């Protein structure tokens, strides 16, 4: 078995267990643990507990690997591989009882920097939706037994997903971006969980996606799902404090870049 497949199996197994824990804690009732960058940016007890479980399982299985998690930060490793983890992506959905949340786990090679890393394996588990999306570099992206493929044609316009940061000061700019993109859209979705948006692009449920200010754990796994499903992912405006992630099938991705990337 290749390293990529091995890491993919491990990511899937741990995402499955972590998803079950997140779902069980949701049933018990959600307790807000803290707010982070802004009042709207929350962390629940479950985020912390789920990340601790993932970290423990990874440490036991691959003690030399590094770790970069949304809640507990970074720990360098010695193997050249880092696990990039969002224990509960879509925390606000989770807190409100909306089922669009997920556990996102990726293994990347190289410095844990999205500009340079090479993603090797990914698992995005949406336990309340009963779906686990997986990918291993060079081996495709999968939803259970079905191989995923991005959409190639959008004759009625592109069904696009996006998201907004938690800082109210950024909303006006993000809405202006939406206005620029709408002429190429058939409609727009704002699901509230970036890794799931990306998984949906991989699965052909969305034609494209764009969002400013994503953190590495929001897109590490989802971006590999898309490239393994034949799509394209770019980070644009990387010098700014809020780079933009742009993703889609080849044609939609190129059209989004024409609108959103001044350097394109």
CA separation, residue 243 to residues 26, 90, 111, 191, 262 (Å): 32, 19, 18, 20, 13
> Across the chain, which distance is largest between two alpha carbons, in Å?
50
* Closer residue to ligand IPD (CB): 5 or 100: 100
90 binds ligand IPD (CB under 6 A): yes
Binding-site residue total for ligand IPD (CB under 6 A)?
A: 14
46 binds ligand IPD (CB under 6 A): no
Quick one: 263 exposed, middle or buried, by C-beta within 10 A (0-12, 13-18, 19+)? exposed
* Closer residue to ligand IPD (CB): 44 or 109: 44
Helices (H), 109-165: none
Coil, helix or strand at residue 28: helix
Separation CA 264–CA 254 (nearest Å): 9
Per CB under 6 A, the list member of 65, 89, 207, 228 interacting with ligand IPD is: 89
- Sign of the four-CA dihedral 19, 25, 30, 34: negative
C-beta of 86: minimal distance to ligand IPD in Å?
A: 5
71 binds ligand IPD (CB under 6 A): no
The position carrying tokens 């699901």 is: 191
214 binds ligand IPD (CB under 6 A): yes
218 binds ligand IPD (CB under 6 A): yes
Per CB under 6 A, the list member of 49, 65, 86, 174 interacting with ligand IPD is: 86
Per CB under 6 A, the list member of 69, 77, 127, 192 interacting with ligand IPD is: 192
Q: How many CB atoms lie within 10 A of CB 52?
A: 16
Separation CA 85–CA 103 (nearest Å): 8
Which residues face 68 on adjacent strands? 74, 84
Separation CA 174–CA 165 (nearest Å): 8
C-beta of 89: minimal distance to ligand IPD in Å?
A: 4
Q: Which residue is nearest to ligand IPD (CB)?
A: 163
Per CB under 6 A, the list member of 127, 161, 165, 248 interacting with ligand IPD is: 165
- What letter does residue 235 receive in the DSSP assignment? E
91 binds ligand IPD (CB under 6 A): yes
C-beta of 194: minimal distance to ligand IPD in Å?
A: 3
194 binds ligand IPD (CB under 6 A): yes
C-beta of 237: minimal distance to ligand IPD in Å?
A: 15
- Select the span of 122-130, 146-154, 160-168, 248-256 touching ligand IPD (CB under 6 A): 160-168
C-beta of 192: minimal distance to ligand IPD in Å?
A: 5
Instruction: Report the alpha-carbon angle 77-82-86, nearest 5.
Output: 125
Separation CA 50–CA 223 (nearest Å): 22
112 binds ligand IPD (CB under 6 A): no
Q: Which residues bind ligand IPD (CB under 6 A)?
A: 70, 86, 89-91, 163-165, 192-194, 211, 214, 218
């Amino acid at each position: 078995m290749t390293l990529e497949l091995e890491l993919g199996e491990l990511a899937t197994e741990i995402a499955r267990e972590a998803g079950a824990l997140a779902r069980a804690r949701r049933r018990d009732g959600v307790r807000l643990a803290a707010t982070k960058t802004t009042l709207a940016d929350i962390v629940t007890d479950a985020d912390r507990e789920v990340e601790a479980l993932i970290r423990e399982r990874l440490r036991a299985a691959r003690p030399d690997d590094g770790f970069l998690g949304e809640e507990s930060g970074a720990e360098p490793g010695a193997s050249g591989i880092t696990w990039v983890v969002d224990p509960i992506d879509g925390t606000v959905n989770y807190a409100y009882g909306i089922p669009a949340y997920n556990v996102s786990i990726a293994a990347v090679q190289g410095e844990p920097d999205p500009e340079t890393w090479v993603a090797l394996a990914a698992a995005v588990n949406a336990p309340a939706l009963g779906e686990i999306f997986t990918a291993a570099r060079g081996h495709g992206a999968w939803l259970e037994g079905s191989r995923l493929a991005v959409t190639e044609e959008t004759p009625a316009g592109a069904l696009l997903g996006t998201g907004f940061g938690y800082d109210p000061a950024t909303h006006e700019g993000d809405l202006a971006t939406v206005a620029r993109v709408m002429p190429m859209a058939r409609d727009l979705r704002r699901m509230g969980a970036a890794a799931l948006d990306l998984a949906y692009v991989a699965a052909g449920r969305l034609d494209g996606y764009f969002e400013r200010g994503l953190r590495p754990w929001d897109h590490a796994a989802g971006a590999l799902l898309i490239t393994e499903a034949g799509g394209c992912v770019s980070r644009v405006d990387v010098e700014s404090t809020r780079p933009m992630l742009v993703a889609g099938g080849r044609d939609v991705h190129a059209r989004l870049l024409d609108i959103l990337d001044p350097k394109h």
